[in-house]
Each structure stands twice: as C-alpha cells, then as structure tokens.
Amino acid sequence: MAEQDWKTNKRVFAAVSLPTLFWIIVFFLVPMAIVWLYSFGENKGLTEIDISGTLDNYKRATEWLYLTIFGKSFAVAALVTLICLIIGFPVAMAITFASEKWRPWLLLGIMLPFWTNLLIRTYALMMLLGTQGFANKGLGALWEGTSWIKTLVGLQPLPTWEPVQLLFNNFAVVFGLVYVHLPFMVLPLYAALDRLDRSLIEASLDLGAGHFRTIMRIVVPLAAPGIIAGVMITLIPALGAYLTPDLMGGTDSQMIANVIERQFKKANDWPFGAALSFLLIYAMFALIAIQSMRKKVPEVR
Amino acid sequence: MTDTAHPIIQIQNVSKRFGKVTAVDNVTLDINAGEFFVLLGPSGCGKTTLLRMIAGFELPTEGKILIDGQDVTGVPPNKRPVNMVFQSYAVFPHMSVADNVAYGLKIAGVKGGEIKDRVAEALELVKLGGFETRMPDQMSGGQRQRVALARSLVMRPKVLLLDEPLSALDAKLRAQMQFELSDLQEKVGITFVTVTHDQDEALSMACRIGVINKGEVAQLATPSDLYEYPANRFVADFVGSVNIFEGKLTLDDADKAAVDCPGLGKVYLNHGVTGPHGADVWIALRPEKIYLHVPGEGKAVKAAAQDAPDGYNFARGKIKGMSYLGDITLFEIELESGACLRVSRPNLSRHDQDDFTWGDKVSMHWRADSPVVLLG
C-alpha cells in the first residue's frame, strides 16, 4: 500500500474515516468544548448556566486551597509513578529474560487485572487491608507468635495486638494507586527492554562490567524511551485518580479528581468544576509537551 | 609462528547440550598463542556455541576450558582475559566512539590520562583516528565494526574472539577487511579466534582452521592442508568445490596406489594410502586440477601417460553446461558413465572461453598427485 493512497482514493478514505471522525467530534470534542465553555460561566438558578465569559472560576481554582490539593495530587501521582518504576523495572526485566515458554504466561499475569473491574479490584484490596483483613490477621499472627516465643524464653510477653490502620489514609491511597497502575508501567518497559539487542548486554559483561553496572550504564539508558512512556502512562491517570482516593483514602487524602467530582455533584457548581478540570488538563498537556520536546534518543538498531 | 608456541586456549572434552540437542560434542582443541585461528563450519554446527563458551556466555555441559593454563570453565565473562567482537558489533548506541572504547578501561579502573592515550592509540590502530566524538548512528557498518574492534583491543586481551566479523559487510569491504584483520593481528600479536561459515574468509585469514561439523571437529589443519589434503568427504566438500566418486582400492603400495571408480574411471596416485585392499574409498578431485582437451588428438592420453600407467587418470565426456565467470570458466561435463564432473579452466588469454562450447565432446586428464583418497 502506497502512502499516497488516500490522495488518489479520496472517497474510500472518506468512507473509512468518517465514522471515526464523527465519533471523535460528537462524543469527545463537543462535550469537551461544552465543559470548556462552562468554565467561563456562572450558575443561574439550579440548572441554568450563563456563559458570561467570566474568569472568576479560574481565579477561585487558583486559590491557595485548591493549589495545595493540586500540589498534593502531583506529589501522590509522582510517588506512585516512582514506586511503580522501582517495582516495575525488575519485573519487566524478569519477563524479558524469562524463557520463551514462560514469557506469555508472565505477560498474561501482568494483564490479568485489566480483566476485572476496577471497583471490584479496589474492594478486594480493601478487604485485604481492612482491620479484619488478611494483612492485619497475618501481622497479628506474627505478633502473637513473637509474643509466645518471648514467653517461652522467659521474657515479658508483648502487649495485646492492636490492628494497624492500613485503610483510609494516604498510605492506602498510594498503595492502591500503585496496585492499579503497575501494569501500565510494566508493559511499556517490557516493550522497550524486549527490543534491546542482547549482545549489548553481553558486550558490557565482556568488557568487564558487572551485572549492576551493566543495568545502570547500558540497560537503563537504552530503555529510556520505555521508561519515559511508562512514566507518562502512569503519571497522567494517577494524577486524575478518583476511585482509589475516594474509597481507600481518609478525610485528608482527597485528590483533585475528588474535588472536581464534588463540584459536579454535591456542590452543583459546574462552572467551577469545569475550570478545575481544565486546569488539570492543561497540566497534563504541559507534561506531554515537555516529554515530546526532550532530545530524541538515537534508535537502537 | 615460533616453535615455542604454547596453547593459550585449551578446550578439553567440551560438550554442550541444550535440552536434547547436542550443539558441541566432546571437542578437544588447542589454540596457540599468537595465531589466527578460525572455526569454520556450516550454520548450526556449534562453532558459535564453542566461541561463546570461550567467552563465558555459555557454560559447557561437560569438559574444561583453560585460558593461559588457568581453568576458566566456571568463570563469568567479565572476569575472563578475553574480549569479543559481536556479529552485530554491539556498539553502545548511546555513547560516542571514544566512550565506547573507554568503557572497559573505566571499569578496569585505568586512570583518565592513560584512558585517553589508549583510546587514541586503539582508534589509530583501526584507522578511526579523529572519530572520537562521533555517535554510532552516524557511522557505517564497517566503521562500527572498527569501533567494536578498538573497544576490544584496547583491553589488551589475551585472546580476541570474533563472531562472524565480516558477514554483515558487502563483498568489497569484506575482502578489504580480511586483509586488514590479518594485518591487525600480526601488528598486535594477540591471538584471534574467529568464527565463520565462509570458506574464503577462513582460507585467507587463518593460520589454522578447525572445521566443525555437527558439533565435532572434522579437521584441524592449515588452510592449504585443508584444501589439498581434506581428511574426509565433509571437509573436501565444504572447503572449496570438489568432485567426489566412490571407488575400490585396487593397489596400495608405499609409493603408488590405484582406485577403480565406476563413475570416473581408473585413478592412479603417485603416493600410498593406508587402507585395506579392496576397501570402499572415495576419490576427491578438485575442478581446477582437471585439464580439458579436444578429443581425437591423443593429447589427453599422452598427458595422462606421463605420470600414470595406460588407461589411468583419463576420462571422456560431453559438455553439458558452462558458466563464464570472467577469470575462469566452469564446465559441467557428462562422463561416459553418466556421472557429472565439474571442471574449471582459467581464461589465460582473452579468447580462451571460446575454445569449448555446449555439446562439445572433450577428453580430460589429471595428474597423479591431484586426486585425494578419502576413507570416510
């Protein structure tokens, strides 16, 4: 197929691309535009919104209170991304270097969570982390065991086990977000590592480098496109995370998406919610712009 | 090579099995210090596995590998005094030429000033002086290979391993690099061990060649011995072009032997072979060692009679095919027995190729020292 085909067969091209174009315009661009217009409007009554072109919503959205929530959301998303990278990189390497027989199964294992609804996964995780959950039961058993051993050797037993509060705090939010976003990190990392010419690694070993140095000096720099892709694909959804902080977080762990949700629902202040939404979208645009401006790493042949 | 040549690499009863597949089968081989050694064999014969075991990337299933007298069988690649030039060159794409070459030296803890000198020296050696700041993606395949060479040579290894070093280059560059590699090896005096499936490459560069077939050493010899005295049918056929005929040994003295080949005729040799009388043997005859004559003039008979009894080392046939290659013309001749014989003839003058053409009847002779008797 020549690249110029669409120019010579304009009708065919139009027939093929129109439905998609229609879909994008009607179900994506138009609603976005409406929300964008709302962000310059004011509430008139319960359901009426007057698009007056005011910038008040943006003024309010950039107040200190909301900026701190933005900042916190960024911090949480960045931490989640970092943890995903630290956990995901060895996992991706392990899959890359696993035998042909195992690789598809390991990849399946990574993708399996996608087949389950996010809500169900989150509730499952909450059951695990709850005060009556397996994590606490396991810790409790360890505690009791230690206490028993201490009495056995004639020492004072430990005080009674108090379940640890693992849920409804910032820890739970980060834990839950890492759990949800890890596959997003692993897959692009795997794709980058899989393309890596193995003889580059062997050449590094051959020249006297140990395994750790080979990873830091050869594998990581050459996997940089995959790392950046993984970071973007994890950071952006983590930044807009709504469900996890809502269900697993405490009163102090709301993220920007939760604030936005409240504007559209409880507060019934659509224009302000729209302004907050667009601030978030602009922030993501900025991230993507920074990523695409970075110096292109030479393609590995 | 000097008489005091000592083995720098000793491969002792090494086998390598991948699951049920035996890649290398009980190979014992000494490679001498300072020689240019080539492992030659068809693809999948185990030669690369053998090289990778010397480098340390594969562990032998059985046997031992010694480098300079030290048992390195279980030593990891980064602790071995050998370096490798990879088939894909494996030049680090995110580092400049100078950084590539300095990589190993930095790890070895060589000081900055010395690194600079040694990198410059190594690049000079491979004729890449002035390319220090280039990135690999700005270089041709041939240049990248030179970077890989410099990167290995700068480590001053005891042995340099090269995996199919010329396979990715075009024909002209390949011929040039053959000479350059031989030259380089003489200059630096490091033992080179090269793997190749290309017999021309092996013959032109090697001091000694180990022909590998199905994981075993088929023959170990100098290039000319390999070509003129192949040990078996595999080597005769793999190295160069050859006509092979089955026959029976009818005479075997100290200074002469005769083989009766139903396909070719009666073959006389002016040297003895060690084989039982009446044994089944094979005659190998190189195409360039057969002379073509116009029949009827008795020239072929006369020429054959110079060093063989009447009726020996002589055949008749008809030209079935010919291909003109410029320097030589290849003929395919159907013998009276129905068998086919390949004959090559140098075009010594501009019109030699016109002497014979399709369908011509020809007679042939060869000298009594040309055929090789193969027992296996």
Contact A208 B78 (CB under 8 A): yes
Q: How far apart are CA B212 and CA B50, in angstroms?
A: 10
Lowest mean pLDDT among A161-170, B132-141, B326-335: A161-170
pLDDT beyond 50 at B91: yes
Contact B103 A301 (CB under 8 A): no
**Min Cα–Cα distance to chain A from B38, Å:** 20
A197 or B295, greater pLDDT? A197
Of A206, A297, A298, the CB nearest to B84: A206
**DSSP annotation of A28:** I
Contact A200 B90 (CB under 8 A): yes
What is the average pLDDT across B22-30?
A: 94
In chain A, % of residues over pLDDT 90? 62
What's residue A3's pLDDT?
A: 57
Work out the pLDDT band at A301, boundaries 50, 70, 90.
very low
**Min Cα–Cα distance to chain A from B94, Å:** 7
pLDDT beyond 80 at B1: no
Q: Among residues 151-180 of chain B, which lie with CB inside 8 Å of chain A?
A: 151-152, 155
pLDDT beyond 80 at B5: no
Residue B19 token pair: 């699951």
What's residue A4's pLDDT?
A: 63
Residue A141 token pair: 């058993």
pLDDT beyond 60 at B2: no
Looking only at the bridges linking them, the beta strands covering B372-374 and B280-285 are antiparallel
Q: Which residues of A touch B155 (CB under 8 A)?
A: 207-208
pLDDT by residue (tens digit) across B62-78? 999 999 999 999 999 99
Number of residues that make up chain B: 376
pLDDT by residue (tens digit) across A32-88? 999 999 999 988 877 788 888 889 999 999 999 999 999 999 999 999 999 999 999
Of A199, A297, A299, the CB nearest to B90: A199
Are B285 and B242 in contact by the 8 Å Cβ rule? The answer is yes
ipTM of the complex: 0.83
B265 or A46, greater pLDDT? B265
What is the average pLDDT across A23-39?
A: 93
Q: How far apart are CA B168 and CA B143, in angstroms?
A: 12
pLDDT by residue (tens digit) across B8-19? 999 999 999 998
pLDDT beyond 70 at A6: no
Contact B94 A206 (CB under 8 A): no
Are B165 and B177 in contact by the 8 Å Cβ rule? The answer is yes
CB count within 10 Å of CB B331 equals 24
Measure the CA dihedral A161/A165/A166/A167, to 10°.
140
**Min Cα–Cα distance to chain B from A207, Å:** 5
B280-285 sheet: strands from edge to edge: B265-269, B257-261, B243-252, B280-285, B372-374
B300 or A260, greater pLDDT? A260
Query: Tokens 């009679």 map to which residue?
Result: B305
Which long-range contacts does A289-293 make (Cβ < 8 Å, 24+ apart)? A291/A228, A291/A232
Helix (H, G, I), strand (E, B) or coil at B232: coil
Q: How far apart are CA B64 and CA A285, in angstroms?
A: 60
Residue B94 forms contact with A (CB below 8 Å): yes
Contact A197 B137 (CB under 8 A): no
What is the average pLDDT across B33-55?
A: 94
The residue of chain A with its CA nearest to that of B77 is: A206
